[in-house]
Amino acid sequence: MIDSLTQKIDANHSKLKNIVKIGSGMQTGANEIFTFKEKAFPKAWLKKRISGKQIEKYAITEPTDYILYVEENFEQLPTSIQQYLLKHKTQLANRPAKKKRSHAKWWNYSFPTHKDYYHLDKNEYPENDF
């Protein structure tokens, strides 16, 4: 009986995988360096950030944080961002994910996943929010 009910539901509705992209979001490994309450850098380099704390049962509250989005070559970043990242170079270079991968750049996210989807609407659920 349960199987037939599931089949009826599946037959009449889209599968979730056809409606949304599900995956792990960007992982900075240093949120305290990459996130801000105010726009601290040029707008082109900042994105709104939603954390799990803003996600309620039936609603998502307006994002209050910004995240510094740096995936370009370091030399192509604005001088203000280069200087800011250089100020934190020791901490950024010593993140566990960066130490494990010798080819990793010290100044960007630990795991810059799904870059092609970043411009789309999304929800973020940091691991420690559950």
The 10s digit of each residue's pLDDT in 49-74 is 777 777 777 777 887 788 888 877 89
In the chain, where do the E strands start and end? Answer: 35-36, 46-49, 65-68
> Closest by alpha carbon to 130, among 62, 51, 60?
51
For the chain, give the percent of residues with pLDDT over 90: 16
Cα(54)–Cα(63) distance, rounded to whole angstroms?
7
The 10s digit of each residue's pLDDT in 15-41 is 777 776 666 667 788 889 998 888 889
At residue 64, the pLDDT reads 79
Contact between 108 and 70 under an 8 Å Cβ cutoff? The reply is: yes
Contact between 21 and 120 under an 8 Å Cβ cutoff? The reply is: yes
Q: Which residues pair with 66 in a beta bridge?
A: 36, 48
Entry pTM: 0.69
